[in-house]
Structure formats: structure tokens, C-alpha cells
Amino acid sequence: MSHVPLALVDILNFLIPAVIFALLALGLNVQWGYTGLFNGGVAAFFGLGAYATAILMTPYSPPNPFYPGHLGGFSQSFPVAAVGAMFVAGLAGLLIAIPILRLRADYFAIATLALAEIVRLVLTNAESLTGGSIGIPLIPRPLPVRTDYNFSTLLLGVLVVAILIMVLVALDVLSGAPWGRVLRGIREDEEATLALGKNVYSFRLQAFVIGCALMGLAGAVFASYRGFVSPAQFDPLATFTIYVMVILGGSGNNKGVVLGAFLYYAFDWVSVRLDDRLPDDLALRMPYIRLMVIGVVLVGLVIYRPEGILRERKRKFPPVRAPP
Amino acid sequence: MIPVTEPLLRAEGLVKTFGGIRALDGCSVQVRRGTITGLIGPNGAGKSTLFNTISGLYAPDAGSVHFAGRRVDGLQPYDLVRLGLAKTFQIPRELRNLTVLENLLLAATKVPGENLVRFVLRYSEGRRREREIQAMAEDLLEFVGLYALRDEYAKNLSGGQKKLLELTRALMSDPNLILLDEPVAGVNPTLASRILDLVVQLRDQGKTIFLIEHDMDVVMKRCDWVVVMHQGRRLTEGVAEEVKADQSVIEAYLGT
């Protein structure tokens, strides 16, 4: 059995949640950063991805007097579950988008926020499918063989970094493609882009579904990392945390939003660990102080650097014709 | 010159209401191929609504539009662009955080890379088309004199330059008919006359232009045919001198 140094485990326990946030931020960046779609239901697609993974990966779990049981018994591998999570979140995105995508930005935000609340209530109340408020425990790590728990964390860490790099490269290619150009056009002026001959509805739909699928992927990593899912983890208001990350890092810049996610989570991680060293009465107040700091930083950012830490890259093309 | 070519655009009995307002009230107009046709009329006559209805941004409540021999009312704006109809906005709608060049590239049609599946499966075809449209965009920028601003964000252009960009962008889809909504309103006289020279050059290259304009001087000098709108209908039409002398036109403008 291999030994993983505890310091490394500590780093991994920072890195993996940070990557989960980064994947959520990247998904939101496709929707908000590129296309200008205000998705108020990030938590819903994240939760659906996590539950899909839980259901696909766990063995059969019969109901008993203390647990309502859940849909399951598929015992699938992580890759299958991750694809399933992306499919479920993407499909949910498609089904909700078809009726509401024509709504104006603010109504679209309200409708998606409502979806997040609906998903949370369904996860809580469809007990025989989801384990109710207890949720679904005993979700395995990606490894097929039983190994030391810390070693499985190390492998998950390597896997999620690989996933993050792949997603980042893919999104950079797509956003630089003519497809991404149309999305940015829609963000700037939807009607003008329509008048320039683009099927705006179709592009918005594509961007929304791809973003939701990425949120589902983040949910898959989350479920396997935590080992259990429950409705309380998918608070609809957590959506706005992801917005803070995107705006902090640089809306429209993929590397920027990853940076934003890492910085935000680093602040959270450090300040939580600081609690132990503070006097009790201050430690009790820390959750509120954290929120206050984030609020002040966000307001300062919007006023003094609205484009975020890394601004959206200007895209230059070498001349095809010789300049005059 | 009295245009005798066949009509490229024919709108008949168009009605468009917004709440209780009949912005178009049975409006019928024709635009003949190869002409610069001016559309004039007092404010609120329904000129911009007519353009938006022809270009598919609004669906008419009644009436029909024929373009290049086929019925096009009810089609989406992107269908009309593919059929060769382009439109500019009265207030420039530049895509602010895209460069001037990107604004033009976005306006090109038949771009395989805009389809994700074709972008991946036909990558080299997509690259070839990108080079083609970039060459086209650069030629156009040179033609209108915006080449130096190629890599500037569109939001940083002056008002007049934005008007010029609006017109140039409309040319990227290689349209047969271009609807220009007040192409020189608020533009300084030097740039305005350059824009209008471009419009004449485009006509001479075989394009058809339908433009809204308030400046009677512009209309008199550059338009081959003038249509007058009033209260959502066509009031009269003719060559510029006739229209200018028409008593009903004077009354419509002066409100007597």
C-alpha cells in the first residue's frame, strides 16, 4: 500500500474542490461570459450531475426503516457516470431552455433560479429515488480496485487536473472558432447579430446546453470526491458564488475564470483554517466576516476593474491581404 | 433617369400594429433592381418599421413581401440574409467588444466554423473559408477607408466611423439588396459625402439600395426613385423633382 504524505493530502483537499469550482465557472463562462445568458440555476445542473453520478456509481441500496433507499444498483465506473452526468445536466438544460430561452435576460435568470429551487425540492421529496434529505452515501472513488483512501484522493486529484486541462483547451479552441465569435456577437447585441444572419436562438441553446453539461461534469467530480450527496449541498443561492468567481477572474476569459475560482476558494480555505486560531467570539463571527469581505471585494471590482483580473483577450488576426 | 427594371422587392398591403398604433397601415412599395430608391416621410411615418418588417425582424400582421421572385414574409432574418438582403440600423449597432475586423467576419455567410460539428469534422475547409472571408473583409475595409482601424474595438470608433462600419458590415454577406436606415444622419459632411459616394459606387456595381433619408439634398442628388410614406402608407412616389413639388408631400411634412 502506497503512502501519500499528509501534506500532499492537504493540498489535494484544496485542489480538488478548487477544480470543481473551476469547472462550474467554466460552464458559466460559456453561458454568461461568452453569450450573455444569465443562468440563475447553476446549483441545479451541478446537483443533477452529482445525483446522476451517485445513482450510476453506487450498488443497490434497499430501503430500510432508517433509509428510504434510492434509484441505483448500476455500479458503473466513473467515466460512464461522468458522461451520464453531463448528459443528464445537458438534457435538463435543453428541456428548460426550449420554453424560456426567448425570455429577456432578467426573466431568464428568474426562471432558472426557480428551476434550482424545484430541483432541490424534488431531490428532497422524491425519497425512493434520491434518498430524500439524507441523500445518497457510499459513492465510490474513480478507482475500480480498493486502495488506500488517501491514495484514491491522489488519483482523483490527477484525474481532475487532467479533466480541467482538457476542458480548458477545448473551450479555448471553441471560443476562438467562428462559433465562439457568434456567441460573443450575441452577448454584445442580440438583435444586431440576428440581423447579420445568425440563428441566435440556436446558438444560445447550444451555449446553454454545453455550459450545463460542464456543470454536470463538475457535479460528477464532486459526488465521487465527497462520497455522498444530499440536497443541502445544492443550495440555489450558491449559484451566485460562481458568478463572483467568473467576475473576479475575468468574464469571457477561460483562464481568468479558473484563476477566479482558485482565488475565491483559496480565500475561503485559508479563512476557515484561520478560525481555530482566533478567539471564540471572533471565530463565531467569521462566516459573516467572510461574506462581508467578499461583498466589499465584489463591489470594488465592479467599480474599479469590471473586466476582472484577466480581461477578455483581444483577438487579432494576421493580415491575409498585404496592408495598403 | 426613370427606372424601368423589374422590381427586386415588392411589399403589398403590409400592416404592423404595436398596441393601438398602426405603424404600417396597408403599405405597398416596390424597389426596382439596380436603383437607389429613397424612402422619405415625416417622423413616425413608419419607415423604420417598414424596414424591420421587410428584413424579417418584425412579422407583419397582414400583407406580403416578395424578394427576388419569392415570397419572404414570415421568414427569419437569417433566411433573408442568405437570400441576399442586408439591413443596417438607424443607430449603429456595432458589436462593441469585438474588433472592427471581427464585426465584419461575423457578418459573413456560409461559414462552416459556426457549426460545431462541421468545425470539428471539416476543420481545414473551415480554415480555408476563414481566410476567404478575412480577405473579403480586408478588401472592404480598404474600400471604405477603415483598414487602419482593423484591430480596434468597435466601441472606440467615432460616431461617423460606426455608421461606416454599419454599412461595411452589411456588405459582408454580398447582398443584392441593402436597406440603409439613415446612413448619414449625424455624420459630418465630409464623411457623409464619402458614404454616399460609396452608395453610388455600390449601385454602379449592380447592387440595389433602399434607403431612408431626411436630407432632401441627399435624396435629390443620389436617389433614382423616391417613395414617400405618411401615416403607415405610401403617399406617393416618383423621381425626386416630382416628389419634391408634390403638394400632398409638402402638406404631410408641414402637417397642414
Reported as a single tens digit per residue, the pLDDT across B114-145 is 999 999 999 999 999 999 999 999 999 999 99
Lowest mean pLDDT segment, chosen from A54-58, A112-116, A294-298: A294-298
pLDDT band for A247, please (50, 70, 90 cuts): very high
Lowest mean pLDDT segment, chosen from A19-33, A86-100, B3-17: B3-17
A1 pLDDT above the threshold of 70: no
Q: Locate the chain A residue with the closest alpha carbon to B139.
A: A321
pLDDT band for B2, please (50, 70, 90 cuts): low
Across chain B, mean pLDDT equals 93
CB proximity list for A95: less than 8 A, separation 6 or greater: none
pLDDT band for A321, please (50, 70, 90 cuts): confident
Whether B89 contacts chain A with CB within 8 A: yes
Q: What is the mean pLDDT of residues A299-320?
A: 91
Whether B115 contacts chain A with CB within 8 A: yes
* pLDDT confidence of residue A206: 97
Cβ neighbours of A185 in B, within 8 Å: 95, 98, 106
Q: Mark yes or no for CB contact A188/B95 under 8 Å.
A: yes
Lowest mean pLDDT segment, chosen from A31-45, B147-161, B174-188, B211-225: B211-225
Cβ neighbours of A184 in B, within 8 Å: 95, 97-98, 102
Across chain A, mean pLDDT equals 92
State what percent of residues in chain A have pLDDT above 90.
75
CB proximity list for A197: less than 8 A, separation 6 or greater: B77, B78, B80, B81, B82, B107, B109, B173
A324 pLDDT above the threshold of 60: no
* pLDDT confidence of residue B40: 93
Greatest C-alpha distance within chain A? 81
On whether the CB atoms of residues B215 and B226 are closer than 8 A, the answer is no
Whether A314 contacts chain B with CB within 8 A: yes
Comparing B54 with A282, the larger pLDDT belongs to B54
Q: Mark yes or no for CB contact A320/B131 under 8 Å.
A: yes
Q: Locate the chain B residue with the closest alpha carbon to A195.
A: B77
Q: What is the mean pLDDT of residues A6-35?
A: 96
B11 pLDDT above the threshold of 80: yes
**Of A188, A195, A198, which is closest to B97 when you measure between CB atoms?**
A188
- CA of B66: how far to CAs of A43, B7, B27, B87, B211, in Å? 48, 9, 13, 16, 18
* pLDDT confidence of residue B215: 84
Q: What is the mean pLDDT of residues A177-200?
A: 96
What is the CB neighbour count within 10 angstroms for residue A82? 26
pLDDT band for A2, please (50, 70, 90 cuts): low
Whether B151 contacts chain A with CB within 8 A: yes
Whether A102 contacts chain B with CB within 8 A: no
| Pairing between β-strand B177-181 and β-strand B7-18 as defined by DSSP bridges | unpaired
Strand, coil or helix: B62: strand
* pLDDT confidence of residue A278: 87
Q: Write out the DSSP string of B75-89.
A: --HHHHHHHTEEE--
B69 pLDDT above the threshold of 70: yes
The 8-class DSSP code of residue B234 comes to: E
Q: What is the mean pLDDT of residues B223-229?
A: 94
pLDDT band for A150, please (50, 70, 90 cuts): confident
B256 pLDDT above the threshold of 70: no
**Of A178, A312, A317, which is closest to B113 when you measure between CB atoms?**
A178
pLDDT band for A145, please (50, 70, 90 cuts): low
Q: At what angle do helices A105-125 and A78-100 cross, to 10 degrees?
A: 130
On whether the CB atoms of residues B95 and A188 are closer than 8 A, the answer is yes
Q: Mark yes or no for CB contact B130/A178 under 8 Å.
A: yes
The 8-class DSSP code of residue A67 comes to: B
Whether B123 contacts chain A with CB within 8 A: no
A287 pLDDT above the threshold of 90: no
Report residue B29 as a C-alpha cell.
Answer: 412599395
Q: Mark yes or no for CB contact A199/B147 under 8 Å.
A: no
Whether B95 contacts chain A with CB within 8 A: yes
CA distance B106 to chain A (A): 6
With 0-12 CB in 10 A as exposed, 13-18 as middle and 19+ as buried, what is B217? Answer: exposed
What is the pTM assigned to this prediction?
Answer: 0.94
Strand, coil or helix: B208: strand
Q: What is the CA angle A31-B117-A312, rounded to 5?
A: 35
Domains of chain B: 7-91+175-254 (3.40.50.300), 95-156 (no CATH)
Euclidean distance between CA atoms A30 and A23, whole angstroms: 11
Q: Mark yes or no for CB contact B89/A324 under 8 Å.
A: no
Element (H, E) at B67: strand B62-67
Element (H, E) at B250: helix B247-254
Strand, coil or helix: A54: helix
On whether the CB atoms of residues A122 and A190 are closer than 8 A, the answer is no
pLDDT band for A160, please (50, 70, 90 cuts): very high
* pLDDT confidence of residue B182: 93
Comparing B22 with B255, the larger pLDDT belongs to B22
Q: Mark yes or no for CB contact A182/B114 under 8 Å.
A: yes
Percent helix, strand and coil across chain B, each rounded to 5? 45, 25, 30
Q: At what angle do helices A239-249 and A42-57 cross, to 10 degrees?
A: 110
- CA of A115: how far to CAs of A9, A33, A44, A85, A291, in Å? 36, 21, 7, 17, 25
Euclidean distance between CA atoms A197 and B105, whole angstroms: 12
Q: Mark yes or no for CB contact B105/A185 under 8 Å.
A: no
Q: Locate the chain B residue with the closest alpha carbon to A252.
A: B97
State what percent of residues in chain B have pLDDT above 70.
98
Q: What is the mean pLDDT of residues B33-39?
A: 95
pLDDT band for A323, please (50, 70, 90 cuts): low
Percent helix, strand and coil across chain A, each rounded to 5? 70, 0, 25
Euclidean distance between CA atoms A55 and A74, whole angstroms: 7
Report residue B186 as a C-alpha cell.
Answer: 449625424
Cβ neighbours of B142 in A, within 8 Å: 321, 324
On whether the CB atoms of residues B22 and B61 are closer than 8 A, the answer is no
* pLDDT confidence of residue B186: 86
Euclidean distance between CA atoms B116 and A89, whole angstroms: 19
On whether the CB atoms of residues B36 and B202 are closer than 8 A, the answer is no
* pLDDT confidence of residue A146: 63
* Domain chopping of chain A, boundaries: 10-235
